[in-house]
């Protein structure tokens, strides 16, 4: 392991020189953890797994982490992460599909407990039927628990989002967990070019005293709340404290947006802002959408891309502004429920213009041609159907 020097957060994330490597999404996530000055990683290798946590285990063996262990199962892993973070450590874990759902009760309690952990979500199918294939329906289960949810398009995003998340999550006015989601297999197992900060530089260590709640003291809420909760009493005061507590979680979530602007160049990316038809997508679907927009532009069609990086907090204002003149908004997704299409519909006035297609799931890939078909239909262009079987 090379000697790592601590550098300022802004320098590492915004100014440090970068070196290009050809690596998988799992490797990109581990490389970000390597530079994050993390103290501990805890995981359970549930099936389906990516190699992310195995690679993070290697980091421990190489001396980058102070501790690493395999928990008894996902609920145990996520609970232990909460304990480690409350004890003052900077912690990382990753999971996917059924593992995420198994740990979800503990994960959903992190925001209220003000746990600034970073969680990698390498999406897979949610059973049944049993499968290990990519499908991002599990992200929909994270949308309402109060944590910040970022969705990475490719290996570069995985690196950037993960490293920045360690900094954003510990900001005193945020202090929430952040999920960095990306598609299993399509991103985790595939290689792409990633511009990475130097291996011998790392973030400043966590300062657990720079926090909106006292660290380590298990006699006060939120720790004490477990056993002596004001919210367990049935009276107006108990309802009121829970109400403002929830408000504080969501206020903190909204405060994360300014750091998403600062460190991730904003919550959205737009290509061709004056487009007649937009393809709006997140994660791996954004890569396919990007390609469809390129095809469309080669054909002289006025089509634009809206890539959404931050799912929670959702960039309502930015999405509304981008889509205000769009005649049609095509939303390709890797899940059956269309959670992104629903979010977009809920945030724009002209929701009838949202076309919640194409959707693929259960491990199916998302061919660019499917998006092109929707673009042609939106523009009233008739094309002959080709049988692909």
Chain residues binding another protein by CB under 8 A are 114, 172-173, 175, 210-214, 219-221, 224, 228-230, 237, 240-241, 243-245, 247-248, 250-251, 254-255, 258
CA 127 to chain centre: 21
For another protein, give the closer residue by CB, 210 or 324: 210
Q: Determine the 3-state secondary structure of 305 from DSSP.
A: strand
**Least distance in angstroms from the C-beta of 233 to another protein:** 8
CA angle 241, 243, 244 (to 5 degrees): 70
For another protein, give the closer residue by CB, 141 or 261: 261
**Least distance in angstroms from the C-beta of 117 to another protein:** 16
Q: Please report which helix (H) or strand (E) contains residue 201, including its range.
A: strand 201-202
Backbone angles phi, psi at 294, to 5 degrees: -65, -45
Measuring CA to CA, which residue among 163, 156, 152 is closest to residue 32?
163
> Distance (Å, rounded) from C-alpha 348 to C-alpha 323?
8
Assess contact for 334 and 136: CB atoms under 8 A.
yes
**Least distance in angstroms from the C-beta of 86 to another protein:** 13
> Distance (Å, rounded) from C-alpha 74 to C-alpha 96?
10
User: Could you tell me the two tokens for 293?
Assistant: 């927009």
Strands 303-308 and 201-202: unpaired
For another protein, give the closer residue by CB, 222 or 362: 222
CA angle 132, 137, 142 (to 5 degrees): 115
CA angle 57, 13, 121 (to 5 degrees): 45
Measuring CA to CA, which residue among 38, 106, 269, 261 is closest to residue 168?
261
**Least distance in angstroms from the C-beta of 315 to another protein:** 14
For another protein, give the closer residue by CB, 142 or 174: 174
**Least distance in angstroms from the C-beta of 109 to another protein:** 15
**Least distance in angstroms from the C-beta of 146 to another protein:** 13
Start-to-end Cα distance in the chain: 51
**Least distance in angstroms from the C-beta of 85 to another protein:** 15
User: Could you tell me the two tokens for 47?
Assistant: 């099936």
**Least distance in angstroms from the C-beta of 219 to another protein:** 7
For another protein, give the closer residue by CB, 75 or 245: 245
**Least distance in angstroms from the C-beta of 104 to another protein:** 23
Assess contact for 269 and 320: CB atoms under 8 A.
no
For another protein, give the closer residue by CB, 15 or 228: 228
Measuring CA to CA, which residue among 162, 151, 178, 179 is closest to residue 311?
151
For another protein, give the closer residue by CB, 176 or 366: 176
For another protein, give the closer residue by CB, 110 or 175: 175
For another protein, give the closer residue by CB, 229 or 271: 229
- Cis? peptide before 172, omega within 30° of 0: no
């Amino acid at each position: 392991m090379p000697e790592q020097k601590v550098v300022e957060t802004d320098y590492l994330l915004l100014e440090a020189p970068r070196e290009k490597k050809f690596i998988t999404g799992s490797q990109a996530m581990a490389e970000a953890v390597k530079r994050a000055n993390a103290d501990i990683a805890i995981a359970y290798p549930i099936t389906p797994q990516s190699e992310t946590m195995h690679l993070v285990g290697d980091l421990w063996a190489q001396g980058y982490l102070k501790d690493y262990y395999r928990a008894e199962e996902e609920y145990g892993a996520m609970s232990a992460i909460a304990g480690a973070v409350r004890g003052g450590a900077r912690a990382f874990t990753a999971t996917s599909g059924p593992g995420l759902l198994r740990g979800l009760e503990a994960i959903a309690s992190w925001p209220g407990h003000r746990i600034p952990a970073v969680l990698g979500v390498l999406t897979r199918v949610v059973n049944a039927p049993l499968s290990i294939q990519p499908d991002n329906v599990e992200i929909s289960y994270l949308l309402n628990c109060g944590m910040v949810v970022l969705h990475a398009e490719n290996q570069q995003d995985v690196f950037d989002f993960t490293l920045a998340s360690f900094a954003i999550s510990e900001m005193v006015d945020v202090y929430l967990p952040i999920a960095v989601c990306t598609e299993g297999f399509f991103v985790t197992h595939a290689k792409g070019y990633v511009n990475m900060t130097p291996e011998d530089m790392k973030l400043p260590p966590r300062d657990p005293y720079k926090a909106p709640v006292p660290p380590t003291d298990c006699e006060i809420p939120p720790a004490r709340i477990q056993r002596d909760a004001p919210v367990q009493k049935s009276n107006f005061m108990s309802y009121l404290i829970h109400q403002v507590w929830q408000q504080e979680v969501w206020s903190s979530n909204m405060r994360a947006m300014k750091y998403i602007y600062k460190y991730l160049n904003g919550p959205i990316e737009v290509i061709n802002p004056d487009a007649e038809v937009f393809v709006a997508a997140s994660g791996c679907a954004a890569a396919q959408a990007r390609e469809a927009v390129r095809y469309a532009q080669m054909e002289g069609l006025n089509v634009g891309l809206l890539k959404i990086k931050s799912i929670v907090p959702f960039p309502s204002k930015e999405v509304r502004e981008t889509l205000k003149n769009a005649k049609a908004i095509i939303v390709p997704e890797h899940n059956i429920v269309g959670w992104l299409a629903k979010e977009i519909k809920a945030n724009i006035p002209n929701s009838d213009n949202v076309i919640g297609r194409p959707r693929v799931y259960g491990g199916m890939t998302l061919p660019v041609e499917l998006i092109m078909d929707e673009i042609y239909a939106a523009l009233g262009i008739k094309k002959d159907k080709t049988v692909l079987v």
